[in-house]
Amino acid sequence: MSPPKDYSHQNGRVTCRDQTVVDTNSEIEDYDLLRLLNRTRPLNIERNISLVEIRSFFGEISNGHFHRNNINDSHHHHVSSPVRIRSGFNTPRSNGYYESHPIIADAWEKLRRSLVHFRGQPVGTLAAVDHSVDELNYDQVFVRDFVPSALAFLMNGEEGVVKNFLLKTLRLQSWEKIVDQFKLGEGVMPASFKVLHDPVRNSETIFADFGESAIGRVAPVDSGFWWIILLRAYTKSTGDSSLADMPECQNGIRLILSICLSEGFDTFPTLLCADGCCMIDRRMGIYGYPIEIQALFFMALRCAQLLLKKDDVGKEFVKLIDDRLQALSYHIRSYFWLDLKQLNDIYRYKTEEYSHTAVNKFNVMPDSLPNWVFDFMPTRGGYFIGNVSPARMDFRWFCLGNCVAIISSLATPQQASAIMDLIEARWEELVGEMPLKICYPAIEGHEWRIVTGCDPKNTRWSYHNGGSWPVLIWLLTAASIKTGRPQIARRAIELAEHRLSKDHWPEYYDGKAGRYVGKQARKFQTWSIAGYLVAKMMLEDPSHLGMISLEEDKQIKPIKRSASWTC
Ligand code: GLC
């Protein structure tokens, strides 16, 4: 990609005529900021997972590979010097080790090859390093794609690149973002950025995309949430709260959440979104209140609650967050939840009910229940459905939303195990030969035409429409460990290991069982590589889960509605 042309200078910032924003001299400030932060400081090491998690984990792997001395790190404690708890899958390793684990060696080598540098510092990883096809924007650092890379680096004790990434994207957030004369919210984080090298001037600049260049001009609603979640993972993993405590970071968190917490016409606590505003970044009928975003929203709110300082400004904000969390968890746990009993209730719903006594609150027509859902629903198990809005329930199963609901404790412990029950009961459908289906089932025929707008990339059982995405293995692994069922993750990883490296780490697989490398899948897709490494490292050392998992929030009141999932 050649550097964008037609710049007009404004206050040291450059706004391109095609509305692309390019950073120039502000990088110098960044560099100073980094130097300041790189000064040594005492670190707190907090690597905690709950005792329940450890107990349940032990219950299952008494003859497994969990190292006892890691348990000490699973309690809150502070030490005054940096202690690296290195995973057995870390680099560097002896040659002998790599000879016996060639896939892991290959993954680390490929992950490092995807690193992007800005003025000598690593700042992120490319989405894919596949020169055999048109790069489109896969040669950029995507915020969501970097998360598994960041976790792999953190688990390996390499926090530098994560810190640089968090600061760089924070800097990008502060730019004025204008698309076709329309100014975007201050808190919006970019979907991706690219480092541009100018060999003539021997300089480097950054190009950022806030959705204005993306295919379909989709808004990256998830970027800000991932940024907060990653900041908390960094803080938790390193014990270094000085980054999150910086006024710039505190402000960044508040700006992201301000766009979500502002008052409006909403009657629901869920966040209203346009289609394709997350990992599924094309039209897939997920507009409205998609679970993929609601679960991330919940998790980001909970991370912000932990990260925000309780000073005068912070306190007010935390109060807003507390209130929203309460309402959001009630809404999702009650209305998005589907199990056999709930399905049967909807099947028998009366319609056109008015007033507060309505049972069928959203006026869902039983006739809108798709046929497949009756067969899909196991006797034991349940899940959060894709979307809930007036007279519209999207019954599709979405992987990311359900796994994030588990790791963030949006799902109650009973709901969390019911989701894992469903995954086990519907293994053929959801895991098949390559973990893991991004959503289930695929839409086809007339529905595909209407919902996707005849999208040839999203044909049935391909890409976002029922395709299988290896990156999702890390989320499944985190959810499995959290619910005390690591054998589910182990089974899935074994399946993936048969093919991933041999197939050159594809972005996604196609087909009902995920048997075919995706039609337009990039090879050497970084998050397929990093997702695998994170899953392996977490399984070997479950204390890593602590950086990405949240305990149940005792402040959140339990729902009063009859708990159908306990049957
Ligand atoms: C595709 C995916 C999106 C990902 C991007 C870069 O557009 O749908 O989730 O961030 O590729 O890998």
Q: At what angle do helices 399-407 and 413-425 cross, to 10 degrees?
A: 140
The beta strand positions in 441-558, using DSSP E, are: 509-510, 516-517
Q: What are the CA-CA distances from residue 518 to residues 18, 130, 314, 465, 468 (Å)? A: 33, 14, 46, 12, 9
- Per-residue pLDDT tens digits for 487-498: 999 999 999 999
> How far does the centroid of ligand 1 lie from the alpha carbon of residue 17, in Å?
26
> How far does the centroid of ligand 1 lie from the alpha carbon of residue 235, in Å?
26
Tokens at 94, concatenated: 């002896």
> How far does the centroid of ligand 1 lie from the alpha carbon of residue 286, in Å?
16
Confirm if 240 and 299 have CB atoms less than 8 A apart: no
Residue type at 494? E
- Per-residue pLDDT tens digits for 268-290: 999 999 999 999 999 999 999 99
Exposure string (b/e) for 454-476, b if CB count within 10 Å is 16 or more? Answer: ebeebbbbbbbbbbbbbbbbbbb
| Residue of the CA atom closest to atom 9 of ligand 1 | 279
Tokens at 92, concatenated: 């560097």
Residue type at 64? G
Q: Is the peptide bond before 92 cis (omega within 30 degrees of 0)?
A: yes
- d(C-alpha 506, C-alpha 39), whole Å: 39
- d(C-alpha 1, C-alpha 304), whole Å: 36
> What is the position in ligand 1's atom list of the atom closest to the CA of 280?
8
* Contact residues of ligand 1, CB 6 A cut-off: 127, 138, 142, 144-145, 279, 281
| Residue of the CA atom closest to atom 12 of ligand 1 | 127
| Residue of the CA atom closest to atom 11 of ligand 1 | 138
Question: What is the DSSP secondary structure assignment for residue 431, as one 8-state letter?
Answer: T
Q: pTM of the entire structure?
A: 0.86
> How far does the centroid of ligand 1 lie from the alpha carbon of residue 102, in Å?
27
**Strand, coil or helix: 488:** helix
> What is the position in ligand 1's atom list of the atom closest to the CA of 279?
9
Print the SS3 string covering 125-170. Answer: ECCECCCCCCCCCCCCEEHHHHHHHHHHHHHCCCCHHHHHHHHHHH
Q: Exposed, middle or buried by CB within 10 Å (0-12, 13-18, 19+), for 59?
A: exposed
> How far does the centroid of ligand 1 lie from the alpha carbon of residue 232, in Å?
23
pLDDT of amino acid 132? 85
| Residue of the CA atom closest to atom 7 of ligand 1 | 281
Confirm if 432 and 468 have CB atoms less than 8 A apart: yes
pLDDT of amino acid 560? 57
Confirm if 43 and 154 have CB atoms less than 8 A apart: no
> How far does the centroid of ligand 1 lie from the alpha carbon of residue 48, in Å?
31
- d(C-alpha 465, C-alpha 286), whole Å: 11
Confirm if 224 and 300 have CB atoms less than 8 A apart: yes
> How far does the centroid of ligand 1 lie from the alpha carbon of residue 227, in Å?
16
> How far does the centroid of ligand 1 lie from the alpha carbon of residue 42, in Å?
38
Give the residue from 118, 218, 190 showing the smallest Cα distance to 161: 118
| Residue of the CA atom closest to atom 4 of ligand 1 | 279
| Residue of the CA atom closest to atom 2 of ligand 1 | 279
> What is the position in ligand 1's atom list of the atom closest to the CA of 507?
12
Q: What are the CA-CA distances from residue 344 to residues 339, 352, 379, 566 (Å)? A: 8, 18, 12, 15
> What is the position in ligand 1's atom list of the atom closest to the CA of 191?
10
> How far does the centroid of ligand 1 lie from the alpha carbon of residue 527, in Å?
10
- Per-residue pLDDT tens digits for 392-435: 999 999 999 999 999 999 999 999 999 999 999 999 999 999 99
Confirm if 508 and 518 have CB atoms less than 8 A apart: yes
> What is the position in ligand 1's atom list of the atom closest to the CA of 145?
10
Mutate to test the pocket of ligand 1, among 125, 134, 145, 209 (most ligand atoms within 8 A of CB): 145
CB atoms within 10 A of CB 255: 18
> What is the position in ligand 1's atom list of the atom closest to the CA of 527?
12
> How far does the centroid of ligand 1 lie from the alpha carbon of residue 281, in Å?
7
pLDDT < 50 stretches in the chain? 1-21, 23-88, 90, 562-567
> What is the position in ligand 1's atom list of the atom closest to the CA of 463?
8
CB atoms within 10 A of CB 208: 25
> How far does the centroid of ligand 1 lie from the alpha carbon of residue 192, in Å?
10
